[in-house]
Structure 1
Amino acid sequence: MRIDSPGLVTDLDLLRLQGSTVTDHGDHLVVRTEANPTFWWGNFVLVQGLPRPDEVARWVARFEAELPEARHRAVAFGAEGGDAGGWAERGWDVEVDVDLSTTSVPVSGDVPDGMRVRRLEHDDDWEQSAQVGGSDTVAGEREDRLVFERRRVAAQRALADSGRARWFGAFDGERLVARLGIVRLGELARYQDVVTLASHRRLGLAAALVRAAGAWAFEDPAVRRLVIVAEDGGPAIGLYRRAGSTEVSRHVGVSRPPA
């Protein structure tokens, strides 16, 4: 199945590197991540075409047939446009993601005094990364979220250990307050999991991390372009544009949490 979105192409490359399977059925792909079954966008169906109101039942049935153990539901569409109203009417969340790209090292300001940016290296760094990833979770769901985050962090650390990737953190003293990763994928390098604690937002930390990771990615002469994906209308997209990235494509994902 042909996919034009660099965000989706790199999503699939990253999932394969972390042990996921991707099965091509011609007009759709089925993605499975057996090591992390609660990872919604590691266990989903990717449709080549556009969302259409008259095909909701078809793709729900396909998801349930291919991923019968999944409690969530998640379907992505590889092209921009279409009509996702039929999904929204049935109570599904609809998200439009924007693929942004740049061929130069992103720009940023200085890191605030008393803070520093460095790569994640030690066990405590990675555990703090899992904690940061789950920081926005309500109290009753936090333990389940941390199970998910620790599984994902383990896969990320394995990628970093392989030399294909690097995760960076912004530290306030010894406390990790923001983190992101980047993975080299041939000519493309893909940013991953940009998260800043609510207490440390609007300090320029994410921009500093984006720059540090981009500079590291371009140390490999094979890398020609950096790719990052942001939710349309979300708070991060302006940051990436100010750092020098421009929009190249869009795609739609629909999801429903466990009943």
Structure 2
Amino acid sequence: MRIDSPGLTTDLDLLRLQGSTVTDHGDHLVVRTDANPTFWWGNFVLVPTEARATEVDRWVARFEQEFPEARHRAIAFALAGGDTDAWAGHRWEVDVDVDLATTDLPLPAEVPPGIPALRAGSSPRALSSDDDWEQSAQVGARDTPEPQLEERLVFERRRVAAQRELADSGRARWFGAFDGDRLVARLGIVRLGGLARYQDVVTLASHRRRGLAGALVRAAGQWAFEDPAVRQLVIVAEDGGPAIGLYRRAGFVEVARHVGVSRPPV
């Protein structure tokens, strides 16, 4: 089954590298991550069309058939548009993601005057130690309500373990901005042949608008382009979200859109 979105195709490549299975059923794909069953977008159904009002029941039933033990529901559509209101009307969350790409090194972010980037002596660097990776899991679980925090940390630590294996293999690198010894922003990038895909761009609310994400995006791009096979950098952002403007200012341009619909655990 053909998927043209570079965001989705690199998602699938990354999942396979981390041990997920992708099964082609002709008119849809089933993605399964047995090592992390609470990973919504590691356990989902991918449809190559736009969302259609007439197919809500069909795809919900298909998901439930494939994942009978799952508490969540997650279905991706490779094309934007369609009748997403039909899904929202059934109380599904609808997210439109934008694929952005560049063949050039991202431009550095502008920092508002008078705002320090980091404490003196601190700088962005690659994650390496056990503490670095544990802090990355903690950053991933930020803002989680206390009753759900333990479960969320289990999920984040499983995901971080897979990311660390990728980094140890040489295919990827995760970068962090540290304020003293505290991780306050992080992202990853993975080389996938001619493409390099950014992952998990997060900055703590206390350290936003300091140019940290932009500095990490540029540092990761520099590392990716050290491989002469890499011709293009790909990043995915939520349509209308706060990050998309940053990426556009850094030189990324929109190349595709796609939709994800989901329902939280019940």
Give TM-score, length-normalised by structure 1.
0.98
CA distance in 2, matches of 1:113, 1:256: 40
Q: Give the secondary-structure state (helix, strand or coil) at the position aligned to 1:97.
A: strand
Q: Which amino acid aligns with 1:168?
A: F
Checking the alignment, whether the CA contact within 8 Å between 2:119 and 2:179 is kept in structure 1 is no
Corresponding residue number in structure 1 for 2:114: none
Partner of 1:248: 255
- CA shift, 1:112, in A, is 4.1
Alpha-carbon distance in structure 2 between the residues aligned to 1:258 and 1:58 = 20
Deviation at 1:80, TM superposition (A): 1.9
In structure 1, what is the equivalent of residue 222 of structure 2?
215
Matched, 1:138 2:137: no
Preserved contact between residue 119 and residue 180 of structure 2 (Cα < 8 Å)? no
Distance in structure 2 (CA, Å) of the matches to 1:126 and 1:51: 37
Answer with 74-83 or 33-42: which moved more.
74-83
Q: Is 1:39 matched up with 2:75?
A: no
Residue 2 of structure 2 aligns to a residue whose secondary structure is coil
The one-character-per-residue Cα deviations of 1:8-66 (angstroms, maximum 9, x if unpaired) are 00000000000000000011000000000000000000001110111000000000001
1:94 equivalent in alignment to 2:94? yes
Which of 135, 155, 167 lines up with 2:162 in the alignment?
Answer: 155
Distance of 1:56 and 1:143 partners within structure 2: 33
CA distance in 2, matches of 1:243, 1:141: 35
What residue number does 2:14 align with?
Answer: 14
Pairs within 5 Å for 1:145-184: 145-184=152-191
CA contact (8 A) 2:100 2:256 kept: yes
Paired residue secondary structure (1:116): coil
Give the superposition deviation at 1:4. Answer: 0.4
Give the equivalent residue in structure 2 for 1:62.
Answer: 62
| Count of residues in correspondence between the two structures | 259
SS at match of 1:132: helix
- C-alpha displacement of 1:133: 0.7
The amino acid that maps onto 2:95 is E
The two structures, once aligned, show a CA RMSD in angstroms of 0.9
How far did residue 141 of structure 1 move? 1.2
Deviation at 1:113, TM superposition (A): 5.0
In structure 2, the gaps of 5 or more residues are 112-116
Q: Percent identity?
A: 77
Measure the CA separation in 1 of the matches of 2:147 and 2:214: 32
Give CA-to-partner distance per residue, 1:170-224, whole Å, 9 cap, x none: 0001110000000000000000000111111111100000000000000000000
Question: Following TM superposition, by how much is the alpha carbon of 1:233 offset from its aligned partner in structure 2, in angstroms?
Answer: 0.4
Determine the structure 1 residue equivalent to 2:131. Answer: 124
The CA deviation at 1:81 is: 1.5
**Per-residue deviation, 1:136:** 2.0
Match of 1:192, SS state, is strand
1:103 Cα deviation (Å)? 0.3
Could you give the per-residue CA deviations for residues 126-155 of structure 1, whole angstroms, max 9, x where no partner exists? 000000111121222111111100000000
Q: Any unmatched runs of 5+ in structure 1?
A: none
The DSSP-based 3-state class of the residue aligned with 2:123 is strand
Distance in 2 between residues matched to 1:174 and 1:196, nearest whole Å: 15
How far 1:104 sits from its partner (Å)?
A: 0.7
Secondary structure of the corresponding residue to residue 75 of structure 2: strand
- Measure the CA separation in 1 of the matches of 2:118 and 2:73: 41
Counterpart code for 1:194? V
Show CA shifts across 1:62-112 (max 9, x none): 000011111100000011221111110000000000000000111114754
Distance 1:113 1:224 in 2: 35
